[in-house]
Amino acid sequence: MDPHSTPSHPMSHDHNHTHQHGGFHSHFSSETSPRRLLWALFINLLLTIAQVAGGLISGSMSLLADALHNLSDAGALGIAALAAYIAHLPANSRMTYGYRRAEILGALINSTSLLLVGVFLIYETCVRFYNPQPIQGGLIIGVASVALVIDLATAWMTYKGSQSNLNFRAAFIHNLSDAMASVVVIISGSLILLFQIYWIDLVASLLISFYVLYHSQSILKECVRILMQSSPSHIHRENLVTEISAIAQVREVHHIHVWQLDDQRIHFEGHIVIHQDHLGAIEEIKANIRTLLRDKFHIQHSTLEVEISSHCENP
């Protein structure tokens, strides 16, 4: 605020959506339809049964690790499908923003479960290290090869949605990490079959575990950031103030808040101070600010409070 001016007075409050309101109603794009997740869930359950059987028969810890990871994937896909359905329920008088954050909660649950699975796999691998068991490399390769094909198929089913949806991204990471795990299991099975390097199975299990931990923590951090209403990582308050202040007739910007409703919708609210001589240009000023927010910062929803200052800029 100009130190030579008296407090400005609220003049105009503006609330604007630059996206279509239809986004809050019950409809699904083909890329983020719960049906995709349900199909992937069904396939993952069949795969998990096959991997558990193969792991128990072959004695492979890495195959059992991959099976447990797949089972967590099945649960993750179920949670993601439910969250996707709930997120598209229409807004009402109690839930005025709708249920969009259901998908963030789904991604939070899935990433947390992935962390727990990763820790459990590390523990089981360490236990198996001190209690080694005979391993059948050929069976490992066969089961893991089938798993790889199925993992790639389910990853493909969630890939498009993962480009713009955090809930689908968590499901995609689940399936992609499964595919990577299957590759590791195939390699370890080949080394066991050809060279009888049995300890490689435990190393493969650890690699799968750390891969799971790495990706789950990144999604978990993103979910927590959104739920805590942190500013998006690509938006800095100082840049916002500088850009808005550069618009003609804007004397000051304060009381700025930027947060995300979900992984797509960014909200902004702020107080804009203009001189009383520019009262006739209020709508034009607000339109210019909204255009700036949309085009440069990808902010689709803005609430602007315009305040009037009666003091000159250079008294």
Q: What is the pLDDT of residue 315?
A: 42
Q: What is the pLDDT of residue 5?
A: 44
Q: What is the pLDDT of residue 242?
A: 92
Give, for all 315 residues of the chain, the pLDDT tens digit: 444 444 445 555 555 554 434 343 444 455 556 677 787 788 878 878 887 887 778 777 667 766 776 777 777 778 888 887 888 888 888 888 888 888 888 888 888 887 887 888 788 778 777 776 666 667 777 877 887 888 788 778 777 766 666 677 777 777 777 777 778 778 877 887 788 777 777 787 788 788 778 878 888 998 899 999 888 888 888 999 999 999 888 889 999 999 988 877 899 999 999 988 888 888 999 999 999 999 999 998 999 999 988 665 544
Q: What is the pLDDT of residue 310?
A: 67
Q: What is the pLDDT of residue 22?
A: 39
Q: What is the pLDDT of residue 32?
A: 56
Written as one string, the DSSP assignment of the chain is --TTSPPPEEEEEEEEE-S-GGGGSS---STT-HHHHHHHHHHHHHHHHHHHHHHHHHT-HHHHHHHHHHHHHHHHHHHHHHHHHHHTSPP-SS-TTTTTTHHHHHHHHHHHHHHHHHHHHHHHHHHHHHS-----HHHHHHHHHHHHHHHHHHHHHHHHHHTT-HHHHHHHHHHHHHHHHHHHHHHHHHHHHHH--TTHHHHHHHHHHHHHHHHHHHHHHHHHHHHTTPPPTT--HHHHHHHHHTSTTEEEEEEEEEEESSSS-EEEEEEEEEEGGGGGGHHHHHHHHHHHHHHHH---EEEEEEEEE-S-S--
Q: What is the pLDDT of residue 202?
A: 79
Q: What is the pLDDT of residue 311?
A: 60
Domains of the chain (ranges; CATH) run 9-19+232-309 (3.30.70.1350), 24-227 (1.20.1510.10)
Q: What is the pLDDT of residue 299?
A: 92
Q: What is the pLDDT of residue 3?
A: 44
